[in-house]
Structure 1
Amino acid sequence: MSRRTPLPPPPPPAHLRSWPDRATLLADRAGVLTHLGGRSLGPAALVVFWLLVLGVQFGWALIGGVLVALGDGMDPLSAVLTVPVLALGLGALIPAGVFLGLSVRRERVMRGLMTRWAALDSDPEGDARLRMPGRSLSWLLTSFAAGASGLWLAFVVPATAQRGEDTYAEVAYAMGAGTVLWIAGLIGVARAVAHYRWALRLVVPETPAR
C-alpha cells in the first residue's frame, strides 16, 4: 500500500465502540496493527529510509567537495563552477533531510496508533505474527552497520589525521558524513528495538505488581 495512503484513525472512545462481538473487534484490531507494522518496518519503508539517508550523504558529498577544493585553492573558473555544485548539494541535502525528519515524526505517530489499538484487547496467540523478526533484524543490522561506519568516520578519521597531509576541510567532511550515518543508525536501531519491545509486550503481557 502506498505511503501516501492516510493512516488509519485511532480507535473510537469506549462509549462509541460498536463491535458486535469480541471476534470482530480482534479482527479489526489485527488488521490495523498488521497494516501499521508493515508500514513501519516493511521493505518499502526500509528502502525509502536509506534512500533519504543517501540523499543527505550525496548532498553533503557535493558540499564537502567544494570545501576541500576551496581549501586546496583554485583558479577563478573553477571557483565559478563551485557555485552550481554547491547549489546542487544544498538542493539534495535539505529536502532529503526534511523528509527524513518527517519520516521519523510519522513513525512516532504510527507507534502511538499501534499502542492505542493494541490496548483495546489482548490476543497473545494472534499477535505473535506482529513480531516480524526478519524485518526487525533487517533494520537492526543495516542500522548497526551504518552507525558503526559513521562512528569510525566521525571520530577515528579526525583522530588519525596528519598535519600537512590532511586538510581541515577533509576532516570536516569526514566528520559530517560520519555524523549523518551515526544519527541514521541510531534512528534505525531505535525503530527496530521499539517494535520488538512493543510486540513482546503483546505476546507476553506484563504481570501487574502486587
Structure 2
Amino acid sequence: MPPRSALPPPPPPVEIRAWPDREALLADRAYLLGVLVRMHIGPGRLGLLWLWGLLGALGWSLIGTALIAFEDTYDFFSAVFGVVLFAMGAACLVPAVVLVAAGVRRDTAVRRLLERWGELDRDPARDALLRLPGTSLVWLLPSFVLCALGLYACVVVPAGAVRGQDTYGLMALIMGLGFLTWIVGLIGIVKAFWHRRWILRTLAGGTAPGPLISAGGGAHR
C-alpha cells in the first residue's frame, strides 16, 4: 500500500484504459481529483506552509540577533553568544527553506495531475464539489495580508531607517523577516489563483472531450 503522502498516478494511456464504462471512469476521476485538490489547497497544506514559514522566521530571527550581537561585540563571550545564535538560526532556517522548496515542487506535480485528470472528461455534478470557493478565500486573504506586511518590512521600514540609530543588523533582521513573510504569502496567493484558474479552464470551460470508453467496454484507440 503506498504511503499517504504519495501522489496518485496519472491517467493511463488510451491504449490500456480498462474502465468498463464511462460511469466507472467518472467515479475514479472524481475520487482522484478530490484527493489532489485536498493535497493542493487543503487546510492542512496551509497549516504546513505557515508552520514552515514560522520555522524560517524563527531561524532568521536568531541569525539577525546574532548579527546585531556581532555589531555590538566588545568581548569574547559576546562573540561566542553570537556564534551560538547564528548556528541555532541556521539549524532552523535551512530545514524551513528545504521544506518550502519541496512543497513547491510537490505542488507543481499535483497541478500537472489535476490538469491531466480534469481533462479526461467532464462531470458537472461531481466537479461542482471541487470548486471550494471558501477554501480559496482562506488561502487568498491571509496570504495577501502576509505579502503586504512583507513588502512593508522590506521596503518601507528600511527607507525610514535613521543613520546612527538603526543598525545594519537590525535592518537585516527586519528585511529578512519581511522577505520570508512575502514568500509565504506569495505561495498562498499563487495556489489560490491557480485553483480558480483550473476550475474555469479545465472543469467549467470548453466542451467535454470525445467518449473514451467504447460501447463494448474497451478504450478507443
Which residues of 2 match residues 112-131 of structure 1 at below 5 A?
112-131=112-131
- Measured in 2, the distance between the counterparts of 1:63 and 1:30 equals 47
Distance change >3 Å, CA 99–CA 128, structure 1 → 2: same
Amino acid at match of 1:76: F
Partner of 2:21: 21
Which residues of 2 match residues 91-102 of structure 1 at below 5 A?
91-102=91-102
Aligned residues: percent identity?
49
The farther-off stretch of 171-180 and 152-161 is 171-180
Partner of 2:183: 183
TM, length-normalised to structure 1: 0.93
Partner of 1:165: 165
Which residues of 2 match residues 1-210 of structure 1 at below 5 A?
4-206=4-206
Distance change >3 Å, CA 187–CA 3, structure 1 → 2: farther
RMSD value over aligned CA atoms?
1.6
The farther-off stretch of 149-158 and 171-180 is 171-180
Task: Decide whether the 8 Å contact of 1:143 with 1:186 is kept in 2.
Answer: yes
- Compare relative contact order (CA 8 Å, sep 6+) and give the higher one, 1 or 2: 2
How many aligned residue pairs are there? 206
- Measured in 1, the distance between the counterparts of 2:24 and 2:80 equals 67
- Measured in 1, the distance between the counterparts of 2:51 and 2:133 equals 23
Please give the per-residue CA displacement for 1:71-98, whole angstroms capped at 9, x wherever unaligned: 1234211211222221110000001100
Task: Decide whether the 8 Å contact of 2:136 with 2:192 is kept in 1.
Answer: yes
**Largest Rg, 1 or 2:** 2
Higher helix share: 1
- Measured in 2, the distance between the counterparts of 1:101 and 1:203 equals 28
Please give the per-residue CA displacement for 1:133-153, whole angstroms capped at 9, x wherever unaligned: 111111111211111110000
Amino acid at match of 1:112: R
- Measured in 2, the distance between the counterparts of 1:131 and 1:28 equals 18
- Measured in 2, the distance between the counterparts of 1:127 and 1:142 equals 26
Amino acid at match of 2:76: P
- Measured in 2, the distance between the counterparts of 1:159 and 1:85 equals 27
- Deviation for aligned residue 1:109: 0.1
Unaligned runs of 5+ in 1: none
- Deviation for aligned residue 1:3: 8.1
Runs of 4+ that moved beyond 6 A: none
